[in-house]
Amino acid sequence: MQARLAWQDCWIRTRVANEWGNCIVKCAIEPLIRERYPAYSAAVVEVQCDLMSLRSGATRAHQTLLQEVVSILNSAVLTNVTAHPHVSAWREVYRSFGASPREYRSSVELLLRWVTQQRPFASIHPLVDLSNAMSIRYQLPVGGEDSLKVGELTTLRYAGRGEQFVAISTTENQSTFEGEVVWADSAGVTCRCWNWRQSQRTAISQGTTHAHFVVDGLAPFGSSDVLVDAATWFAEQILMLDPSARIVRTLV
């Protein structure tokens, strides 16, 4: 049974046919962040898939990612990554809360730099591969987490000095700086510097079947319309892997 894709105004829900289910993760933005960054908005896509469908669709998902890499390399979009309007806008945002773009880079800048260096893209997980394809296609920061590893509420907020964090694929403890913009749940920081580095604690693994992805936008480059288009494309790609997937998209 194919999932119906419906937009909701606030919290994430899952919908299959006419049945509504309980969401696992809710995403919120701290009012101070909204006030300081009125150009910011995000689309959240929550996905629940069958593990066997994901495994059987892994090659297709990876090929989709590689196709987006080839497509953007054949365009004139990446003549200068730091001058790209989306990347440049995020560099200014990072500077505004005290993060030097030389040390901290948005996830989309890191991904596009990887593309221009023509470094290989190994398959990580079908959903991650498709989210990276979406990020490249729309030049937007995208981050995903295992919804079963995250607390009930995750919030984009200002961090205090010294909040502990272990980045994905590492064991080293890091500390946040005062005023850093982070995503966090009740157990602590899940993503540093808005979308720079994600947590090992909430990382998507090979066995992940229930995940949520945050697509970050800064108007006018990442307007609500662009976020809707990106999230819709992402959902369509997922349904090609698993037609029975539960998917919901929401703007926050």
pLDDT digit string (tens) for the chain, length 252 residues: 333 344 443 333 333 322 233 457 889 999 999 999 999 999 999 999 999 999 999 999 999 999 999 999 988 778 889 999 999 999 999 999 999 999 999 999 999 999 999 899 999 999 999 999 999 999 999 999 999 999 989 999 999 999 999 999 888 999 999 999 999 999 999 999 999 999 999 999 999 999 999 999 999 888 889 999 999 999 999 999 999 999 989 898
Domain range for 37 is 7-251
Burial of 117 (0-12, 13-18, 19+ CB in 10 A): exposed
**∠ at Cα 47 (42, 50), nearest 5°?**
165
Relative to beta strand 197-198, strand 188-192 is antiparallel
Q: What is the pLDDT of residue 170?
A: 86
Instruction: Say how many domains are in the chain.
Output: 1
Spatial distance between the Cα atoms of 113 and 116, rounded to a whole number of angstroms: 5
Q: Give the HSE-up count for residue 162: Cα atoms under 13 Å, Cβ half-sphere.
A: 0
Supply the pTM of this predicted model. 0.89
Confirm whether 2 is domain-assigned.
no
Spatial distance between the Cα atoms of 201 and 212, rounded to a whole number of angstroms: 15
Q: What is the pLDDT of residue 225?
A: 92
**Which residue in 155, 176, 179 sits closest to 167, CA to CA?**
176
Confirm whether 24 is domain-assigned.
yes
**Which residue in 163, 162, 139, 154 sits closest to 81, CA to CA?**
139
Confirm whether 78 is domain-assigned.
yes
Confirm whether 204 is domain-assigned.
yes
Spatial distance between the Cα atoms of 22 and 34, rounded to a whole number of angstroms: 27
Confirm whether 236 is domain-assigned.
yes
Question: Are the beta carbons of 121 and 205 closer than 8 angstroms?
Answer: no
Spatial distance between the Cα atoms of 158 and 201, rounded to a whole number of angstroms: 20
Q: What is the pLDDT of residue 20?
A: 30
Confirm whether 1 is domain-assigned.
no
Confirm whether 188 is domain-assigned.
yes
In sequence order, what are the residues at sequence separation of 6 or more whose Cβ sits closer than 8 angstroms to the Cβ of residue 118? Answer: 73
Spatial distance between the Cα atoms of 13 and 187, rounded to a whole number of angstroms: 22
Confirm whether 222 is domain-assigned.
yes
Look up the CATH number of the domain holding residue 164.
3.50.40.10
